[in-house]
Amino acid sequence: MTTKTWIWLAEHTDVFGGEANYSWVRRVEFETSAGASQREVVKAGKAALGLTGVRCLTVDCDEWYQLRPVGSQTVVFLRSC
């Protein structure tokens, strides 16, 4: 039996005036199992970006997640491909 996976795109960029600025951006792709919980997706996305252990405020935007690392003027978007 084949395990189905989802491919996600993670974007990490700076913030200006509270909005994503994209003066620099780091993009990576990562995989999760199909039906992964929000916690599993966020954990895998943070690991792919090297943000393991960084506290983040997470917003569930239905089809994607927004992470705001605490104490940092940056934002992370996690979108399924």
- Angle ∠(70,38,56) on CA atoms, nearest 5: 5
pLDDT in tens, 17-26: 999 999 999 9
Burial of residue 67 (number of CB atoms within 10 Å: 0-12, 13-18, 19+): buried
pLDDT in tens, 9-47: 999 999 999 999 999 999 999 999 999 999 999 999 999
Please give the average per-residue pLDDT across 63-72, as a whole number. 96
pLDDT computed for residue 2 by the predictor: 65
pLDDT computed for residue 53 by the predictor: 96
* Alpha helices (runs of H) in 1-81, residue ranges in sequence order: 38-49
Backbone torsions φ then ψ of 27, nearest 5 degrees: -115, 135
Task: Tell me which of 61 and 3 has the higher pLDDT.
Answer: 61
Strand order in the sheet with 5-16: 19-33, 5-16, 74-80, 64-69, 56-60
